[in-house]
Amino acid sequence: MRVRFAPSPTGYLHIGNARTALFNWLFARKMGGTFILRIEDTDLARSTDEYAEGILSDLAWLKLAWNEGPDIGGDRGPYKQSLRQKIYDKYLDELKGKGLAYPCFCQPDELEARRKAAMEKGTAPRYDNRCRALTQKEIAQKAAQGVKPSWRFKVPERTIVVDDVIRGKVEFDTRQLGDFVIMKSDGVPTFHFAVSVDDTLMEITHVIRGEDHLSNTPRHILLFESLGFTPPRFAHLPMILGPDGERLSKRHGAASVSEFRKLGYLPEALNNYLALLGWAPEGDKEILSMDELVAQFSLEKVNRSASTFDYAKLKWVSENYIRNEDLGRIALLALPYLREAGLIEGELTEEEMERVRSVVKLVRPYLACMADVAEHARPLLAETAAASAGDLASISGAAQLLQLLAVDLEKVADIRDVDWKKFFGDLAKASGLKGKALYRPIRIAITGQEHGPELLDVIPVLGKERCIARVRDAILKITEKI
């Protein structure tokens, strides 16, 4: 079995396309098939190499490895449509020879005007096939004037049945279709034409794509058959909508893989969430590894109805991964964000890295994505606590308490080897404070925050010197205030 993901490099990898890529990949892996990547850059005006590279990069980041593609080649290449021009020319000639393609001299502005007029009149805004009736003489005339024609496919009147893996048999009456352009006037094939030729030549067995292509499929089937090709199987995936029911776009928030990538979502988390859109695993377990996804995946079980992208649920999936993934890996992923926030600098020594790990260990339960790490790690990594002395000054006895604490901390030999229960028990006795009255001022002095990870865990991570410094600093601020 051979499937393909065929993005056009006219933008970043959209979340909907990423889901399509994922389902193709899952299907290929599940069936022991081949996953092919093909770049559809027939839109010369909008396609760029930068976008193509970005898409490849994002797919690689998602760990959706392809077996054949523009970068790695393969037996059925090239895998970039702009490199396949000769092939399309050849098949256009074939259609011309069969009398199934004819030149159209209508200009874009004319077509646009007619389309608009038809819309206003309430009739179908499709091409009226007028150039089909052109005589050889007229054609020669136009050509002599130097008008470059586009080439349209002569659509026969008949019924076409798309036997969709997900939707079952869907019937179309081709009389709804106008003769459509297969080769643009600049000599570049349109999507419909290139796709049909390439899917055949690349021996694609299953075309898994978005539902927006379902209505295009009869065109493709027509082309396949006219060229003497056997159409592949089709599976049209439901759309992904934004919270307002419109197609998901930037308006709704992050809508491209690169955005989630920048925010520090784990690729597995994004895949896991995407897999849950339009498909459901058996049983109650929703956090699934890529392997588990592959093991459970089935095209037949894909939903027919569109789903709404739920940022809240993605967040939940992401949190799960951040909390449960290997700590070393999470710490590594935290590095760029910590660096950007100025909390670490340069290459880290093993000792510094160890410290980052222990900090990340404490703050990971708070993270929805890795970009959140700086905010939570700051109190634990920054030189000073940035304590709000105002808060402490209003707590009676805070200065005395901190004084006692500083003295006790000084006496500590190894901060990683302290019986904190006893330590704070003694402090409670000495200060006459307990519970919240005891811990709150200490937390504020040491972390500058009202909330955060277990204080008893924070202190050893911070280290003796830093704790003492922060406590003394807090005392100073209080006394100055008074």
Partner RNA sequence: GACCCCAUCGUCUAGCCCGGUCCAGGACAUCGCCCUUUCACGGCGACGACGCGGGUUCAAAUCCCGCUGGGGUCGCCA
Instruction: Catalytic residue, from 98, 116, 250, 434: name it.
Output: 250
Annotation says 285 is catalytic: no
Q: Which of 53, 212, 410, 465 binds RNA (CB under 7 A)?
A: 212
Q: What gap in Å lies between CA 482 and CA 475, rounded to an integer?
A: 11
Q: Which two tokens stand for residue 75?
A: 């037996």
Q: If binding is defined by CB under 7 A, does position 301 make contact with RNA?
A: yes
Residues 218-237 touching RNA, rule: CB under 7 A, are none
Q: If binding is defined by CB under 7 A, does position 127 make contact with RNA?
A: yes
In whole angstroms, the minimum distance from the beta carbon of 286 to RNA comes to 5
Q: If binding is defined by CB under 7 A, does position 125 make contact with RNA?
A: yes
Residues 71-110 touching RNA, rule: CB under 7 A, are 104-108
CA distances 468 to 156, 326, 394, 445, 474, Å, are: 85, 32, 21, 10, 10
Q: If binding is defined by CB under 7 A, does position 123 make contact with RNA?
A: yes
Q: Which two tokens stand for residue 246?
A: 């419109």
Q: If binding is defined by CB under 7 A, does position 310 make contact with RNA?
A: yes
Phi-psi region of 100 (alpha: psi -120 to 50; beta: other; left: phi over 0): alpha
Return the range that interacts with RNA (CB under 7 A); candidates 91-99, 196-204, 239-247, 396-404. 239-247
In whole angstroms, the minimum distance from the beta carbon of 362 to RNA comes to 9
DSSP string, 401-423: HHHHHHHHHHH-S-TTS--HHHH
Q: If binding is defined by CB under 7 A, does position 51 make contact with RNA?
A: no
In whole angstroms, the minimum distance from the beta carbon of 214 to RNA comes to 5
Residues 374-403 touching RNA, rule: CB under 7 A, are none
Q: If binding is defined by CB under 7 A, does position 213 make contact with RNA?
A: yes
Q: If binding is defined by CB under 7 A, does position 142 make contact with RNA?
A: no
In whole angstroms, the minimum distance from the beta carbon of 388 to RNA comes to 15
Q: What gap in Å lies between CA 67 and CA 36, rounded to an integer?
A: 6
Query: DSSP strand E in 150-298: where?
Result: 150-153, 159-164, 168-173, 181-183, 206-210, 233-237, 240-241
In whole angstroms, the minimum distance from the beta carbon of 47 to RNA comes to 8
In whole angstroms, the minimum distance from the beta carbon of 436 to RNA comes to 4
Residues 152-171 touching RNA, rule: CB under 7 A, are 167-168, 170-171
Binding mask 429-468 for RNA (x = CB under 7 A): ------xx--xx--x------xxxxxxx------------
Residue type, 30: K
Q: What gap in Å lies between CA 2 and CA 76, rounded to an integer?
A: 11
- What is the maximum alpha-carbon separation in the chain? 108
Cis peptide preceding 460, ω within 30 of 0? no
Binding mask 253-292 for RNA (x = CB under 7 A): -----------------------xxxxx---x-x------
Q: What is the dihedral sign for C-alpha 452, 455, 457, 463? A: positive
Q: Which of 129, 308, 388, 403 binds RNA (CB under 7 A)?
A: 308
Q: If binding is defined by CB under 7 A, does position 20 make contact with RNA?
A: no
Q: What gap in Å lies between CA 160 and CA 226, rounded to an integer?
A: 13
Residues 342-361 touching RNA, rule: CB under 7 A, are none
In whole angstroms, the minimum distance from the beta carbon of 62 to RNA comes to 19
Shorter beta-carbon distance to RNA: residue 164 or 473: 164
Shorter beta-carbon distance to RNA: residue 267 or 281: 281
Q: If binding is defined by CB under 7 A, does position 122 make contact with RNA?
A: yes
Shorter beta-carbon distance to RNA: residue 5 or 337: 5
Q: If binding is defined by CB under 7 A, does position 124 make contact with RNA?
A: yes
DSSP string, 257-319: HHHHHHTT--HHHHHHHHHTSS---SSS-----HHHHHHH--GGG--SS-EE--HHHHHHHHH
Q: If binding is defined by CB under 7 A, does position 428 make contact with RNA?
A: no
| Secondary structure (3-state) at 238 | coil
Q: If binding is defined by CB under 7 A, does position 191 make contact with RNA?
A: yes
The rounded Cα 358 to chain-centroid distance in angstroms is: 30
In whole angstroms, the minimum distance from the beta carbon of 223 to RNA comes to 13
CA quadruple 43, 48, 52, 54: dihedral, nearest 10 = -140
Shorter beta-carbon distance to RNA: residue 158 or 479: 158
Q: Give the catalytic positions in this structure.
A: 250
